[in-house]
Amino acid sequence: MTVLSVRNLNIAIPTGDGHVHAARDVSFSVEAEELFGIAGESGSGKSVLSQAIMGLLPGALISGEILFEDRDLLKLSPREMQQLRGNRIAMISQDPLSSLHPFYTIGQQIIEAIRTHRQTSHEAALAEAIDILGRVGIHDADKRVNDYPHQFSGGMRQRVMIAMAIVLRPALLIADEPTTALDVTVQAQIISLLNNMRREFGTAIIMVTHDLELLSSVADHAMVMYAGNRMELGPGNAVLRTPSHPYTMGLLQSSPTHESRGPLPSIPGQPPSLLIEQKACAFAPRCPSVMDICRTQRPPLRRFDDNTQSLCWLENKAVRAPAIAAAAEESAAASKSSDIVVSVSDVRLAYGARSLFSKGGGVEVLKGVSLELPRGTTLGIVGESGCGKSTLARIIAGLLPPTSGDVEIEGKSIIDLDRQSWVEMRKRIQMVFQDPFGSLNPRRRVGAIIGDPFRIQKVAHGDDRKNRVRDLMELVGLNPEHYNRFPSEFSGGQRQRIGIARALALNPSIIIFDEPVSALDVSIQAQILNLIAKLQRDLGLSYLFISHDLAVVRHVSKEIIVMQGGQVVERGETEALYHRPQHSYTRELLAAADPNYRKGGGATAASISEALTP
């Protein structure tokens, strides 16, 4: 049975600069109980599409049809739409940390969802809320209903969001990047939870994501979008393993899970502006198989034997692009000198112990960590969230004093620096944070934000500064013409780069990357990872690279240390560690990052979650 059928959908959003054409002639349909994946780079219109289905795009010009349970949603009154939302069609969004109201308990929020659509007593709704929380894996649900969102971890909050979305047994659930903000171990649990829920309740799921690996293991059907166009559509396996369209192929090859080391074959260039009318193939400027006709005429729809459909002039399925000439000359800088730029010895950190009002011992976050970073190389640090990775980074960057132990940067201890040398040291070490969204002031223009380090350090003025900022923007793949835009006018992926540009501004010698690419699309991820590697070669930079994603860390690091519970449990050369892990926790992480693991479904996920619960 078809739950949702979208036909020839066009969406234009009026803005100050003109109409943003976020969807162009998009058609697809979703069957009951199916998991339908939508993939595509940042800004390709995935979120706009899902919001259009929810009826949450006020002011947009929408044409075409969105048939849901045989009614055209575009013809419904706002009141009728409101009755469907949350009831027959539900949504969960990318960031579970900000999607729940901080001032209401989760029980209140779920009960509100129930009672908005159903006449039940508060008690009955409460019982139902507790029941559904139990089903999504919240232990002691009867007590935890009275807790506020901030008392739950990210993964738990996403479970709560799922509970709230499915409590009324909707026919369709739209999950817009449900796992992007989560740890890889938790990601797998959430995906298998969604998978179970759709079986249990017969809910069709539209899953929007840029994680192709994840989609290929769970999606029944998949659609790939680019610049508002439906580039490819077909069975999940076919689309995501043997794609027909050059764009899908490019996306797949940029994925760092690929067996290769060395530069990733990123898709060159930028997605086109959505403001202009398209008369040709939108992908032509970046396509490796581009032909003359592609630049002048709109491509036709090709259908292939494996049921994939592709919007492309190519008559055959796309082929793998030849691996980009491996510029794999092992970084010269790395081998020639072996002096140590960062040396951490037995660093410990306990929270709470020194606080004025709290009694008793604090929580020990770091329990004696030591490491060394040779100049010009990259040291990867992996571990699940809460293992102390970010805390360690902040200590090394001099932002947080350790309780005991020592940190030496280029031979100088940073404990008890005087102010002047501290300022100097801070120029040498820069950080790229996990969450650049939070650190961008929404009221300041992007050019000004990136120029901040220049302003603070009083280097480069006027046009010179402006030019440097533009160069930086280009370097990280931002359009320099967007100098005067505000952070809110960039899509999720683009905002991430602003933070990276800012850290690169002062040409530091050491950069600490704290989950720098976790929120980026694979193709952009690849661009950034390649950029990071290029900078290292050209400038002899040294990196500490923190991530929960082993595939990414493996790609960039010479050596890796694995952390668990504030301790280093394993360290070693990247390949050695990857192929011959010694510690059981390392093996778990490897299993979680392995694509085949996800296909295994719930069983493995459950065993991992057991292993992780203390």
Partner 1 sequence: MISFIASRIGFAALVLLLLSGFVFTLFFVAPGDPARMVAGERATEIQVAMVRENLGLDRPVIEQYVSFLGRSLSGDLGYSYRNQQPVIELIKNRMPATISLCVGAVIMWLCMGIPIGIMSARHPGSLRDRVGQGFVLIGVSFPSFVLGMAALYFLYFMPRQAGFTLFPPGGYRPFLDNPGVWAWHMALPWFTLALTSAAIYARLTRGQLLEVLGEDYIRTARAKGLSERKVIYKHGVRSIFSPLTTQLGADIAALLGGALVTEQVFGLQGIGSLAVQSVQTQDRPVIIGVVMLAGFFIVIANLIVDFLYIVLDPRVRG
Ligand X SMILES: Nc1ncnc2c1ncn2[C@@H]1O[C@H](COP(=O)(O)OP(=O)(O)OP(=O)(O)O)[C@@H](O)[C@H]1O
Alpha helices in 337-475, H assignment, sequence order: 389-396, 419-428, 436-439, 446-457, 462-475
Check binding of 177 to partner 1 (CB under 8 A).
no
Total interface residues for partner 1 by CB under 8 A? 30
Whole-number minimum distance, CB 40 to ligand X, in Å? 6
The residue among 269 and 401 lying less far from ligand SF4, judged by its C-beta, is: 269
Q: Choose one: 89-97, 247-255, 398-406, 569-577; the region binding partner 1 (CB under 8 A).
A: 89-97
Closest alpha carbon to 157 in 90, 86, 94, 88: 94
The residue among 243 and 436 lying less far from partner 1, judged by its C-beta, is: 436
Residue pair 40/225 in contact (Cβ under 8 Å)? The answer is yes
Strand partners, 572: 560
Check binding of 301 to ligand SF4 (CB under 6 A).
no
Whole-number minimum distance, CB 158 to partner 1, in Å? 12
- Contact string (CB under 8 A) for partner 1, positions 92-111, x = contact: -x-x--xxxxxxx-------
Q: How far is the C-alpha of 163 from the C-alpha of 148, rounded, in Å?
A: 15
Residue pair 488/460 in contact (Cβ under 8 Å)? The answer is no
One of 133, 206, 215, 281 touching ligand SF4 (CB under 6 A): 281
Whole-number minimum distance, CB 275 to ligand X, in Å? 9
Q: How far is the C-alpha of 289 from the C-alpha of 127, rounded, in Å?
A: 58
Q: How far is the C-alpha of 310 from the C-alpha of 480, rounded, in Å?
A: 32
Check binding of 84 to partner 1 (CB under 8 A).
yes
Q: Choose one: 38-46, 68-76, 330-338, 454-462; the region binding ligand X (CB under 6 A).
A: 38-46
Whole-number minimum distance, CB 83 to partner 1, in Å? 6
* Residue 246 contact, options ligand X, partner 1, ligand SF4, none, Cβ 5-8 Å cut-off depending on partner type: ligand SF4
**Nearest-5° angle of CA 101, CA 104, CA 107?**
110
Check binding of 594 to partner 1 (CB under 8 A).
no
Q: Is 285 exposed, middle or buried (0-12, 13-18, 19+ CB in 10 A)?
A: middle
One of 12, 314, 379, 544 touching ligand SF4 (CB under 6 A): 314
Residue recorded with tokens 């139990």: 134
One of 37, 45, 178, 256 touching ligand X (CB under 6 A): 45
CA distances from 329 to 263, 312, 572 (A): 11, 36, 22
Whole-number minimum distance, CB 57 to ligand X, in Å? 7
Check binding of 153 to partner 1 (CB under 8 A).
no
Check binding of 506 to ligand SF4 (CB under 6 A).
no
Q: Is 584 exposed, middle or buried (0-12, 13-18, 19+ CB in 10 A)?
A: exposed
Residue pair 90/170 in contact (Cβ under 8 Å)? The answer is yes
Check binding of 2 to ligand X (CB under 6 A).
no
Check binding of 38 to ligand X (CB under 6 A).
no
Query: Which structure tokens are listed for 514?
Result: 């704290």
One of 68, 152, 283, 543 touching ligand SF4 (CB under 6 A): 283
Q: How far is the C-alpha of 177 from the C-alpha of 209, rounded, in Å?
A: 5
Q: Which residues bind Mg ion (CB under 5 A)?
A: 47
Q: How far is the C-alpha of 40 from the C-alpha of 177, rounded, in Å?
A: 11
Residues 437-496 that bind ligand X (CB under 6 A): 491-493
Check binding of 316 to ligand X (CB under 6 A).
no
Question: At 26, which helix (H) or strand (E)?
Answer: strand 18-31
Rg, the chain, Cα only? 25
Check binding of 299 to ligand SF4 (CB under 6 A).
yes
Interface residues with partner 1 (CB under 8 A)?
Answer: 54, 56, 82-87, 90-91, 93, 95, 98-104, 112-113, 116-117, 148, 150, 161, 164, 357, 442, 488
Interface residues with ligand SF4 (CB under 6 A)?
Answer: 246-247, 281, 283-284, 287, 289-291, 294, 299, 312-314
Interface residues with ligand X (CB under 6 A)?
Answer: 13, 15, 20, 22, 40, 42-48, 210, 274, 491-493
